[in-house]
Amino acid sequence: MSIANVPVSTLADMFGTPSYLLDIADLRERCRDVVAAATEAGEQHGIETSVYYASKAFSSTAVLRWAHAEGLRVDVASLGELVTALRADVPGHAIGLHGNNKSETEIDLALQHSVGRIVIDSLSEIDLVAERARAAGAVAPVMVRVTTGVHAGGHEYIATAHEDQKFGLSLATGAAAEAVTRILAAPELRLLGLHSHIGSQIFAADGFVEAARALLGLRSQVAASTGTLLEELDLGGGFGVAYTPDDEAPDVPALISELIATVARVAGETGEAAPALSFEPGRALVGPAMATLYRVGTVKPVRLEDGGERLYVSVDGGMSDNIRTVLYDATYTAALASRRSDAEPVLARVVGKHCESGDIVVRDVMLPADIHRGDLLAVPVTGAYGRSLASNYNQLPRPGVVAIGDGEPSEIVRRETIEDLLALDLG
Ligand code: LLP
């Protein structure tokens, strides 16, 4: 197997395993396609559009530079993500600050760099942001994150717009409308519009359309009661990707074009000018652009209760570099990457080296029966929430990220060493 024309065996020799391998051209093309689709559909319907890369999926200065160079803005949700975006020279106006529990430090730094928007997540945050803006002598551009009640997406932990969870202001209880009223009355705040993020790993348009209808309804209600027609709606991220050949993931640029056309039509029905629209994909941009490369160690056949057999293939990482299988029951696939094998495929499970039986990277996959110690195994689509959710469980150093341009590999995030871990240990 090669990535961007470099054999993975060369990459393993140069950078070690496990490593996350990023195909730069693939990432940039995904970014470019999404921006082009949004711009084109926007122009067609007279709607201004912008796309934010949700940097929680994977945050590094190199990736943010590439994303920004392709026309994306950057969504950050912590001080670390904000500082990384600034370090990548993303201008403040192209940054959006999220978070359900923003600190004063985060808000202050955001204001100092005149970020494009701060997304308000609670009523109490209205006073907090207004107070910090007053102290900074600034007017803060804000949006209101609305809980629309739409339930979409994969696992319960990544669905975010139903009522009983921590994000946003409820449309149903009137909290969102109250937030709008309070913000409009605050001279330190400028209300740009309404935001909705309904969840992650979503394959269909309906949830987004339902959320957009809800936001448009609130926008009309605000216009009727205050005379202010809000400029912008943000429909969030959550666009799904195919982790295995069984997943029928959407064509994300096409889905975004469709959403823009739908919002233009629905807004047209109200007789009001269509709002500007923004989106915040993370996974769909960086997920498929990376694979994790592991070295195979112990291979062990295990007899199953039904008399069958499963080959347990242990790799040199595991739940510390990919927690998604355990946390969300996520499915992945894997392939022998360092040689060709004509051995018959057998039912296998890729497991890590951690001290838990739940340490599973790929639950079910067919691998050649002759797979053995020293082989390289690649697990694709690990770019989103792989490195960013990684841990040091069992004192494992987190893998580095190697980015490959055509034939040119270089490490964009260095592999941790045990000395890095011990440097934090004060004895
Ligand atoms: N915008 C907001 C406000 C978000 O909260 C998120 C993700 C995104 C955009 C980007 O969503 P994406 O397009 O990447 O699905 N750790 C979980 C995903 C958590 C997503 C949190 N918020 C996972 O590994 O599936």
What would the pLDDT profile of 15-65 be if each residue is shown by its tens digit? 999 999 999 999 999 999 999 999 999 999 999 999 999 999 999 999 999
Give CA–CA dist 143/125, Å, rounded: 12
Which tens digit of pLDDT belongs to each residue from 71-94? 999 999 999 999 999 999 999 999
Domain 2-20+289-424 has CATH 2.40.37.10: yes
Q: How far apart are the C-alpha atoms of 105 and 128, rounded to whole Å?
A: 12
Task: Report DSSP letters for 316-355, one per residue.
Answer: S--TTT--HHHHH------EE-SS---SPEEEEEEE-SSS
Burial of 31 (0-12, 13-18, 19+ CB in 10 A): buried
Q: Is 31 a catalytic residue?
A: no
DSSP for 63-86 reads HHHHHHHTT-EEEE-SHHHHHHHH
CB of 238 within 6 A of ligand 1: the answer is: yes
Residue 11: its pLDDT value, please?
98
How far, in Å, is the centroid of ligand 1 from the Cα of 368?
Answer: 35
Q: Give the per-residue pLDDT at 259.
A: 98
Predicted confidence at residue 163, as pLDDT, reads: 72
pLDDT tens, residue by residue, 36-48: 999 999 999 999 9
Mutate to test the pocket of ligand 1, among 166, 200, 255, 283 (most ligand atoms within 8 A of CB): 200
pLDDT < 50 regions, the chain: none
Domain ranges in the chain? Answer: 2-20+289-424, 46-286
* CATH class label, 46-286: alpha beta
- Among candidates 101, 139, 141, which has minimal Cα distance to 117? 141
| pLDDT at 157 (0 to 100) | 56
Residues β-bridged to residue 378 = 293, 335
* pLDDT tens-digit series, residues 179-216: 999 999 999 999 999 999 999 999 999 999 999 999 99
> Contact 90/67 with Cβ under 8 angstroms?
no
Active-site annotation holder among 308, 344, 355, 425:
355
> Which pLDDT score, from 0 to 100, does residue 58 have?
98
Q: 85 C-alpha to center of ligand 1: Å?
A: 17
CA 252 to chain centre: 14
